[in-house]
Amino acid sequence: MAPTRSTSRRVRRRIVTERPPALVTPPAPPAGTPGTTPVIEFRSVSKHYGVGAVGLDQATFSVDPGAFMFLVGSTGSGKSTVMRLLIKELEADSGTLRVAGHDLARIARRRVPFYRRNLGVVFQDFKLLPNRTVHDNVAYALQVTGGSRKDIRAKVPDILRLTGLATKLHNYPDQLSGGEQQRVAIARAFVNHPPLLLADEPTGNLDPETSIGIMQLLYRINRTGTTVLVATHDQAMVNKMRRRVLELSHGRIVRDEASGLYNRDESTREFAARLRNDVPRTPEL
C-alpha cells in the first residue's frame, strides 16, 4: 500500500528533526576525578600523509573533563594533525579516537556539521568575516546552528562582556587590534558554550602582554567547565601556565607532563598576575 500524504509528512518531519547524540556532558568535575569519561581519548592513533611523511604515530593519551592542556612541539611535530583529527577534517589511518565517549570513526560524513557544533575552535588567523561587525561575527555562530533571535539577543551581549568586547560590538574586524580580533574569534567559538574548546596558536602573532590577556580569557572560559586544549609554540607562556603539557616530535609523544604547581582556586586576576610575576593588589570580586 502506498503511504498516505500525512504519513509522508510525518516521515519527512522525523528525518528533518533527527540529530546525532549530543556531545554535551554534565558539568565537569575537577580534572582527574576517577571514573570520569575523558573528553578526548586517543588510543594508538596514527596518521600518515605519504611515503615518509608522518603526521601521528601510535599516539595514546586522554584529556579529562575540565582540564586545561597544552600541545607543544616544533613545526611538523604533529600538533596540527591532532587538531585536524579532532574536528574530523582528517581521518585516522589506524587506532581509536573518541570525543566525549563518541568514536569519531562512527560519525557519518553527513553528521560531521552537527558534531562540530559541539566544539569551539579558535584559529591563529582568526577567520573573521570582514564585512560583519563584532556583534554579527559572534551572532553568526548562533545563526548557523539554528539559534533563534531570542537566543542571539540573550547570548551575544553576555559573551561580549565576558571577552571584554562590550564597547566594540559595532566595530568591524579591520578596526580592531590583533588581540581584539582574537577575542572576537574566542567569543564566537565559545558563544554556544561547547564542552571542548580547541585553540591553535591563539597567541602566535600577539605581543607578550596581549598574549597574557588571551590566556587569561581562555582560563576564565576553562573555569566555567569547558575543557581547553591549546596548541602553541610559546614555550615561555606554557612554562608560566603550569598546566599539563603534551609534547610531540615527528608524530610521536615524547613528553606528557602534568604540572600542578598552581592554586586550582586562583581567580582570573591572580592567574594573570602570576603570569606577569606580579602580586594582585586587590582580590577579585
Closest among 26, 40, 27, 36 to 244, alpha carbons compared: 40
- Residue ranges of the chain with per-residue pLDDT less than 70: 1-35, 259-264, 278-285
* 226 found inside a domain: yes
The CATH number of the domain where 229 resides is what?
Answer: 3.40.50.300
pLDDT of residue 258: 78
Only one residue has cell 537566543, namely 151
pLDDT of residue 266: 77
Closest among 63, 54, 76, 98 to 197, alpha carbons compared: 63
* 145 found inside a domain: no
For residue 267, CA distances in Å to 99, 207, 262, 263, 283 come to 29, 23, 11, 9, 8
* 267 found inside a domain: yes
- Number of structural domains in the chain: 1
Closest among 60, 79, 59, 57 to 70, alpha carbons compared: 79
CA distance 139 to 161: 14
CA distance 70 to 238: 7
User: Which strand (E) or helix (H) includes residue 210?
Assistant: helix 208-222
pLDDT of residue 13: 39
CA distance 11 to 16: 9
Domain containing 283 equals 37-118+194-201+218-285
pTM of the entire predicted model: 0.81
* 255 found inside a domain: yes
* 271 found inside a domain: yes
pLDDT single digits (tens) 199-254? 999 988 788 888 889 999 999 999 999 999 999 988 888 888 888 999 999 999 99
* 50 found inside a domain: yes
* 148 found inside a domain: no
* 183 found inside a domain: no
